[in-house]
Amino acid sequence: MSEARMTERMGFFTDTSVCIGCKACEVACKTWNDVPADDLDLLGMSYDNTGSLNANNWRHVAFIEQTVEDNTRWLMSSDVCKHCTEAGCLDVCPTGSLFRTEFDTVVVQADICNGCGYCVPACPFGVIDRREDDGRAWKCTMCYDRIGDGLMPACATACPTESIQYGPLDELRARADERVRELHARGQADARLYGHSPEDGVGGAGAFFLLLDEPEVYGLPSNPVVTTRDLPAMWKRAGLAAVAVAAGVAASFLGRR
């Protein structure tokens, strides 16, 4: 990204410790972005009727019921696209439909998408999905149209507990560090941050989370790695192999002459 386009990086911090599972974020996202409604699915998974992120669910509130020392507790979390620093979906898109905005978020331009689907397996979080009716890819845009006008994303605006926080990413990371220290001081030793570190497998996420259990409990990969990480080395090896083959063919031809 050129310096001329670069502005302060914006992101999401989702504090699952205060999520009440109200699904206001899901409704606000669908309403503002005109995301098609799904039929009400009874999945047999507690109050979770969306199941996962997909082309028609850009926010997904997970409900996890646990028994801890004979007591029942609920873990709830609103999942969303991670807007990765190193985004595999962006690397493989052949049309430029996926692009990185001036806020360092990753957005799909549906009118340019050709429905090739390369981005779907490229996402280590399983976020991007294609709609059955037109085959195009869809995901969270972090309400690019709203933040460009200085507004908060619809989901963060609708969240009644401020579980979903939006703002400059550096400020959110500092706030998250303080929140973890606060929870540890209260005896919640399992509180940890996910997607917070720039040293992780996707270079740090633009949407990160405070969790109260292991990532897998929330349906998140424990160690996500950008799927295109090895592409430069692969292309280099392929180039060297092509040069070697060309040299061999030339040597053989010259030898026969």
Residue ranges for the binding site?
Answer: 19, 22, 25, 29, 81, 84, 89, 93, 113, 116, 119, 123, 140, 143, 155, 159
CA-based end-to-end distance of the chain: 51
**Calpha distance 168→6 (Å, rounded):** 13
Q: Which tokens go with 187?
A: 């005896």
Radius of gyration for the chain, computed over Cα atoms and rounded to the nearest angstrom: 21
- Is residue 47 classed as helix, strand or coil in its secondary structure? coil
The binding site for [4Fe-4S] cluster comprises 19, 22, 25, 29, 81, 84, 89, 93, 113, 116, 119, 123, 140, 143, 155, 159
Query: Cα dihedral sign for 10, 16, 19, 21?
Result: positive
**H/E segment holding residue 64:** strand 60-68
CA 111 to chain centre: 21
